[in-house]
């Protein structure tokens, strides 16, 4: 019996590329669906260039031929979704997922793993600890499109698992954590010593280990899982860890958070305040009860991220 065949969408992206490499090392036969032509994958990978999701409807039937598992990573995210037309999120995140999930059902795929987002369940902050059984209340177009895609995945008929990862960090990090890394990399002392709100984060290695863990787990079928590192962090702890990984002191000082908020509001940066000063902590005990645990702690993940970023800057 040959290796299981896995289709990875978004294979050239921030999550997709290291996921493809890990799947190959783990003995899977990988088909990589990507909209980018000039991307290098291991020689064993079957690369299929697909049209842009925003402007084209894709014929998934030939792409799914012979596939056992689908890991649907592709999607559109934006740090401030208010600047993006809803139709983009609707087309890329919802309709493409719906079409792929139905095609996977017709192709009798054994397992369809959809990488959604915690934002399908909540806004950029939450007063209490977020759990899967909580009512889903997305607050923006991005989150609503992800929740709609989850509902479409459920109804399509293929055996499915849905992941709701929190913000992911790793080499080539994007979005809000890229902004935090820029702050940590600056030579200046920073006014965050008084910030005690906590946020869950997720190392890309931990996300990939969770993906591989559930692929062959019958108990994961039909379930939704929040995914995060073991412990949430304050912004103070994040910057301190990042600077420690750079061989530096934290260099944080106290400014009343209300004054920081005022400065950000005057600079029209209110969304940044929402992420710096408010909590977003998730409970991952549901996935851990299945037997998964994070493979790497957050400091090691930050150190690896920064090391690779610095090496590429020097090359």
Q: What is the pLDDT of residues 41-50, one digit of tens each?
A: 999 999 999 9
Helix, strand, coil % over all residues of the chain, rounded to 5: 45, 15, 40
Instruction: Output 178 or 37, whichever has higher pLDDT.
Output: 178
- Give the pLDDT of residue 32: 96
* CATH code given to domain 5-170+200-229: 3.40.50.720
Q: Cα angle at 231 between 228 and 236, to 5 degrees? A: 110
pTM of the predicted structure, to 2 decimals: 0.93
Residue 238 has pLDDT above 80, yes or no: yes
- Give the pLDDT of residue 53: 84
Instruction: Output 240 or 173, whichever has higher pLDDT.
Output: 240
- pLDDT tens figures, 66-125: 999 999 999 988 655 566 678 889 999 999 999 999 999 999 999 999 999 999 999 989
Would you kindly state where each structural domain of the chain is located, as residue ranges? 5-170+200-229
Give burial (CB, 10 Å; 0-12/13-18/19+) of 219: exposed
The alpha carbon dihedral of 19, 214, 132, 108 has a sign of positive
Q: Are 223 and 160 in contact (CB under 8 A)?
A: no
CA of residue 284 relative to chain centroid, distance = 15
């Amino acid at each position: 019996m040959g290796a299981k065949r896995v289709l990875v969408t978004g294979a050239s992206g921030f999550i997709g590329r290291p996921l493809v490499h890990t799947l190959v090392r783990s003995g899977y036969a990988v088909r990589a669906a990507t909209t980018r032509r000039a991307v290098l994958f291991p020689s064993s990978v079957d690369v299929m260039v697909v049209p842009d999701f925003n402007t084209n409807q894709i014929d998934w039937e030939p792409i799914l031929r012979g596939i056992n598992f689908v890991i649907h990573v592709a999607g559109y995210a934006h740090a401030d979704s208010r600047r993006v037309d809803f139709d983009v999120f609707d087309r890329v995140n919802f309709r493409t997922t719906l079409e792929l999930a139905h095609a996977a059902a017709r192709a009798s795929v054994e397992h369809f793993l959809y990488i959604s987002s915690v934002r399908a369940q909540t806004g950029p902050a939450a007063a209490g600890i977020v759990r899967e059984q909580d009512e889903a209340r997305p607050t923006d177009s991005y989150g609503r499109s992800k929740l709609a895609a989850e509902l479409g995945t459920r109804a399509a008929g293929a055996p499915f698992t849905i992941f709701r990862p929190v913000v992911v960090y790793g080499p080539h990090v994007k979005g809000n954590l890229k902004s935090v890394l820029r702050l940590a990399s600056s030579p200046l002392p920073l006014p965050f010593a008084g910030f005690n709100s906590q946020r869950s984060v997720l190392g890309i290695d931990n996300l990939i280990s969770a993906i591989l863990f559930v692929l062959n787990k019958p108990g994961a079928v039909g379930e939704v899982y929040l995914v995060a590192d073991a412990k949430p962090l304050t912004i103070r702890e994040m910057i301190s860890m990042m600077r420690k990984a750079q061989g530096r002191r934290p260099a944080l000082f106290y400014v009343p958070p209300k004054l920081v908020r005022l400065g950000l509001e005057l600079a029209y940066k209110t969304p940044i305040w929402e992420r710096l000063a408010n909590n977003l902590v998730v409970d991952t005990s549901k996935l851990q009860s299945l037997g998964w645990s994070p493979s790497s702690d957050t400091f090691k993940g930050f150190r690896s991220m920064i090391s690779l970023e610095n090496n590429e800057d020097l090359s």
